[in-house]
Amino acid sequence: MYSRKAAPRRLERRTLRDLQRLLGPENVLHEPEDVLLYEYDGSVEVARPDCVVFPQTTEQVAGLVQIANRDRVPVVGRGAGTGLSGGALAREGGIVVVFSRMNRILEIDLENQRAVVQPGVVNLDLTKAVEHAGLYFAPDPSSQKACTIGGNVAENAGGPHTLAYGVTTNHVLGLELVLMDGSVVRVGGRTPDTPGYDLTGLLVGSEGTLALVTEITVRLLRAPEAVKTLLAVFDRVDDATATVVEITARAITPAACEMLDGWTLRAVEDFIHAGFPLDAAAVLLIELEGLTEAVEVQAAQVFDVCTRCRAREVRLARDETERQRLWAGRKNAFGAVGRLSPSYYTQDGVIPRTKLPETLHRIEQIGATYGFQIGNVFHAGDGNLHPIILFDSRDPDQFARAVAASTAIMEHCLSVGGALTGEHGVGMEKSELMPRMFTDDDLELMRRVRDVFNPLGLLNPGKILPLGKGCGEIRVQPLPLRSSLPA
């Protein structure tokens, strides 16, 4: 399910010259030392592009795509590079289109609760721009301080509050797209529902294989009247997972329900000092939002469920400062783990909530089998797991075992009726696992849809759909440590 690090080929002089003429030489990187940074994202994949370009307008994107189409050069869109499935990497070389300079909020319509943004707008910056009016943008990935809305659209990103508010596709009204022939089209609109086929829904989550997104119309939500954040502390992991199942059984839908196991919460507490108890086996971070009266009732119900499921303690955040500190612990969990291991591999699988106890036991067994510490921090409310495998990528044997452990986890998720990804995307990480979830007919239909938009296969090639190679042929090479890279 992984791709070898391919040596980039040199672009034809004509291609490079025309890109420089269109964008300006300062917006086209092509020397090996300049494009080195862009062979990485947040995954364990490595793939170096031939050149990296920085457009500033839709017209420039259309122009560079026309050049690439003419010269049969692959094109890969890239946001902030925080993706975790290799989706923004140039698996077959070619041109990486970085949208960091298309980062303007084009319109804010407070009365109709919508905004129009360019793809390079940072997720959290949109909320900051409208919070004075009591509005916010709901999708909130853990990387929301860095990730861009264009990247969120490509991967259909989620976040802790997905449980109540859905993923990115639930908050996108319309898109402006550049197709591979250079034409500019719009799908969707400014209203929640438009007649005809849901092309917006098709494009969100297509991982850059159908078009390049150059403008996004999103819905904004009204900030809730009341928010209560609870921390439930458990001495047994099984009690924490049973609590999640019981909350669902009582038809309570929190805005968020996050779980950290004991090992992970201790790593986080040492780094963030969020107030997590160091001797706990697990904690649940549960957030309730809505009208004041409803939130009060739900908080009492959640407290009762946690107590009946043998929570040692249930804390209510006393003020906004304490609430933000608890969430800082959750959202900085991966950074905390990064202090303890040269490398780590974060997975993204989905299971039915009722399978949480058995799946966490299975992850523990897999860690023991392959000789790794595996931490767990995840969206417990919707069964979206993010096991973190700690290993040293400088050791080829450890890398191979980490990949094998990851595959075993994903196979278990599928075996209990789950899915390959909840929010990180398929990318080049899981493309070879797709036949384990979809039939040949399913995959052929996906190929036919892709070919309508991307007939030459030049848009983000080698992503989502399997290449059909054997496992021994498709392993990525071990990563060097970031600190060992040339300055």
Residues 117 and 156 in one domain: yes
The answer to whether 201 and 169 are in contact (CB under 8 A) is: yes
Q: Give the residue from 341, 364, 345 showing the smallest Cα distance to 476.
A: 345
Any domain includes 434? yes
What is the C-alpha end-to-end distance of the chain, expressed in Å?
A: 31
Any domain includes 422? yes
List the CATH number of the domain containing 194.
3.30.465.10
Residues 302 and 353 in one domain: no
Any domain includes 1? no
Q: Give the residue from 362, 383, 79 showing the smallest Cα distance to 258.
A: 383
Any domain includes 321? yes
Extended beta strands in 74-161, E state: 75-78, 95-98, 105-109, 114-117, 135-136
What local confidence, expressed as pLDDT, does residue 9 receive? 55
Residues 84 and 129 in one domain: no
The answer to whether 1 and 432 are in contact (CB under 8 A) is: yes
Any domain includes 484? no
Q: Which domain holds residue 166?
A: 105-222
List the CATH number of the domain containing 313.
3.30.70.3450
Residues 53 and 130 in one domain: no
Residues 451 and 392 in one domain: yes
Q: How many helices (H) and strands (E) does the chain have?
A: 15, 20
Residue-by-residue pLDDT tens, the chain, 487 positions: 444 444 445 689 999 999 999 999 999 999 999 999 999 999 998 999 999 999 999 999 999 999 999 999 999 999 999 999 999 999 999 999 999 999 999 999 999 999 999 999 999 999 999 999 999 999 999 999 999 999 999 999 999 999 999 999 999 999 999 999 999 999 999 888 788 999 999 999 999 999 999 999 999 999 999 999 999 999 999 999 999 999 999 999 999 999 999 999 999 999 999 999 999 999 999 999 999 999 999 999 999 999 999 999 999 999 999 999 999 999 999 989 989 999 999 999 999 999 999 999 999 999 999 999 999 999 999 999 999 999 999 999 999 999 999 999 999 999 999 999 999 999 999 999 999 999 999 999 999 999 999 999 999 999 999 997 533 333 333 333 333 222 2
> φ and ψ at 26, to 5 degrees?
-70, -15
List the CATH number of the domain containing 81.
3.30.43.10
Residue type, 52: V
Domain termination residue (choose one: 48, 69, 101): 101
Residues 146 and 202 in one domain: yes
Q: Give the residue from 223, 228, 231 showing the smallest Cα distance to 296.
A: 228
Any domain includes 79? yes
Residues 372 and 466 in one domain: yes
Q: How many residues does the chain have?
A: 487
Residues 467 and 352 in one domain: yes
Q: Is 396 helix (H, G, I), strand (E, B) or coil?
A: helix
Any domain includes 166? yes
Domain termination residue (choose one: 222, 238, 255): 222
How much is the CA Rg of the chain, to the nearest whole Å? 22
Any domain includes 209? yes
Residues 94 and 115 in one domain: no
Residues 327 and 345 in one domain: no
What local confidence, expressed as pLDDT, does residue 406 receive? 96
Residues 175 and 252 in one domain: no
Domain termination residue (choose one: 101, 125, 157): 101
Q: Specify the number of domains making up the chain.
A: 4
Residues 212 and 159 in one domain: yes
> φ and ψ at 51, to 5 degrees?
-155, 160
List the CATH number of the domain containing 361.
3.30.70.2740
**Where do we find the tokens 């099984």?**
238
